[in-house]
A and B are shown apart, each in its own frame.
Chain A
Amino acid sequence: MANQPTNNRLPLEQGLWLITVALAAWMIPGAGHFLIRERKRGIILFAVITTLFVIGLYVGSIGVVDWVGGRIWFYAQVLYSPAVGLIGNITKHGGYPVYGRPADIGQIYTGIAGLLNLLCVLSAVYMAYCGRGEMIGHEEEDDNG
């Protein structure tokens, strides 16, 4: 019963709404939750995931985003945001080499940030599907002050 959509949207409208939430959540971490009025959750997710990604880039340099030499990692990293593709475009000629432990840590941090954002996308879409923002959004904001 909990998995049934509980809002009154038409199926097409509901589908477009879920796609909008998913795209927003992918483009800016936490934006999906923000759209469904889970603002506190959205801010926390944005702050934590962005901090993790930025630390990864700082430790390993932008060279860790490498869709030529580290394609599997790139697939995880690009889940953070489509903007990661722009970084990949800058580094594709191999102008920012990085080796050893900084490369490991940078790739792990940025890759995990991307995978955590995938979790957030799924969470935001699920909450939107259940009509979460419409059901208890205001109530929750009131509870949280």
Chain B
Amino acid sequence: MADCGFILAAFTAPFEIGTTPSSMLWMFPLLAAIALVYKATKMRVLFTKKYLQQSLLLFLSVSGFMVMAIAVLNLLSWLITS
């Protein structure tokens, strides 16, 4: 019962995350979830191996695009401010 209380209490105070570049890493679990749900709704028949492969491919594609977008925006901001 006490354990249950501790677990519930963990949801009443925010987790410590600084406003740092590394906090952007939190986007990857979100992208993985989006890829998994999208493929689960999209595929006509869910074969485990094919589903995981396609989800991974989508996750890597979207992650790659996001990383490229971050790099381009950083480059632009560096060019403008330097």
Residues of A within 8 A of B (CB): 40-41, 44-45, 48-49, 51-52, 55, 57-63, 96, 98, 100-103, 105-106, 108-109, 112-113, 116, 119-120, 123, 136, 140, 143-144
Question: What are the residues of chain A within 8 A of B12 when measuring CB–CB?
Answer: 61-62, 96
- In contact, A49 and B14 (Cβ under 8 angstroms): no
Taking the complex as formed, is B68 at the interface, i.e. its CB lies under 8 A from any CB of chain A?
no
**Given A58-B11, A61-B13, A140-B46, 14 other A-B residues pairs in contact with their CB atoms under 8 A:** A40-B46, A41-B46, A51-B33, A62-B12, A100-B17, A101-B19, A102-B14, A105-B23, A106-B14, A108-B30, A113-B33, A123-B41, A136-B45, A144-B47
- Nearest B residue to A90 via CB reads B12
Chain A nearest CB from B3 CB (Å) reads 16
Known contacts A100-B19, A108-B30; decide if A119 and B37 are in contact (CB<8 Å): yes
Nearest CB of chain B from residue A112's CB, rounded to whole Å: 6
Count class of interface residues, chain B: 20 to 34
Q: Is the CB of B17 within 8 A of A105?
A: yes
Residues of B within 8 A of A57 (CB): 11
Which chain B positions have C-beta within 8 A of A136? 45
Residues of B1-47 contacting chain A, CB below 8 A: 10-19, 23, 26, 29-30, 33-34, 36-38, 40-41, 45-47
Which residue, of A44, A45, A113, A123, has the highest number of chain B Cβ atoms within 10 A? A44
On whether the beta carbons of A60 and B34 are closer than 8 Å, the reply is no
A140 surroundings in chain B (CB, below 8 A): 45-46
A76 to chain B, nearest CB (A): 14
Residue of B nearest to A117 (CB): B37
Residues A60 and B14 in contact, CB atoms below 8 Å apart: yes
Majority-rule SS of A interface residues: helix
Please report the C-alpha to C-alpha distance between residue A106 and residue B16 in the assembled complex, in whole angstroms.
Answer: 12
Which listed residue, B17, B40, B46, touches A102 by the CB 8 Å rule? B17
Most buried by A among B29, B30, B34, B38: B30
Residues of A within 8 A of B82 (CB): none
Q: Which of A60, A96, A143 contacts B45 (CB 8 A)?
A: A143
